[in-house]
Amino acid sequence: MPSVDERHGLCLMAIHAHPDDESSKGAATMARYVSEGVDVLVVTCTGGEEGSILNPAMDRPGVAERIVEVRREEMENARRILGVRQEWLGFVDSGLPEGDAPPPVPPGRFSTTPVTTAVQPLVRLIRAFRPQVITTYDESGGYPHPDHIMTHKISIEAFEAAGDPERYPEVGVDAGLDPWQPLKLYYHLTFHKERILALHEALLARGLESPYTDRLDEWAGRAAEAGRLTTRVPCADWFETRDRALIAHATQVDPTGWWFRIPLDVQRETWPTEDYQLARSLIEVGTLPEDDLFNGV
């Protein structure tokens, strides 16, 4: 593992749609890099105002009425556990339209904000924080939530614009911030088929029940995603930290739910990495797959 001195000056920005997304996607990676001295900033695009109370233990009087404050408190708890910094972009959760004919997202929500408007606070943060590496979602959002898809859109726009002094000068030179060009952009590949299948088979081999049976049945005709996987970051020693951060989002995560049905020793032995796709790189990275988001930096 690299020493703290070797990591001095490195910065990682993780861009997420809602509070709790940072703890379910890339959390062990972030905790590992923090332990190595990397400065890690989580950017949360919305306040998660539309999130349901998914943990029965939290479905009690007064919680729903102050969900905005509660989710901020949860985010702060998770942030402390991971050891990262965190900033809010300040947009309002779009909610997840459902049904055969889902209703349109109301005006004024994150996903209905013009990209050129929504990207400006993110460009400002990139120029202020100056990360070499950014993580975000792919064009599908990881799943088709409008806020996840919008997060992808503004991440791409910000990556390409932050280094150009002529783009968004109101959050750049006019605001006293110099341009900054990140070097690498990654997409999370947290729930890809190869990983889920490996964990499923490991559980069955040990005589344990797998929570992935139904999902794998749904994915029966789905193509493998190994071709997208460019980067596997070893971080098994921080899986417990990841889980504690996720549990800190108490309204969203039931600690007795399926997230936690796979023993940590099975996870560490079967799939000890968090996985990514290198989507943009302005530097030579050498042979893929790589095992470090800062490879080549």
Residues facing 133 on adjacent strands = 12, 184
21 is an annotated ligand-binding site residue: yes
Cis peptide before 114 (omega within 30 of 0): no
188 is an annotated ligand-binding site residue: no
DSSP assignment letter at 163: T
Q: Please, what is the end-to-end C-alpha distance for the chain in angstroms?
A: 16
The pair of structure tokens assigned to 57 is 């233990």
Quick one: which H or E segment has residue 87? strand 85-91
152 is an annotated ligand-binding site residue: no
Q: Which residues contact 253 (CB under 8 A, 6 or more apart)?
A: 20, 54, 55, 246, 247, 259
- The CA distance from 45 to 26, in Å, is 16
What is the per-residue burial (b if ≥16 Cβ within 10 Å, else e) of 30-47? bbbbbbbebbbbbbbbbb
- The CA distance from 45 to 53, in Å, is 20
Q: Indicate the annotated binding residues for Zn(2+).
A: 18, 21, 148
Q: Indicate the annotated binding residues.
A: 18, 21, 148
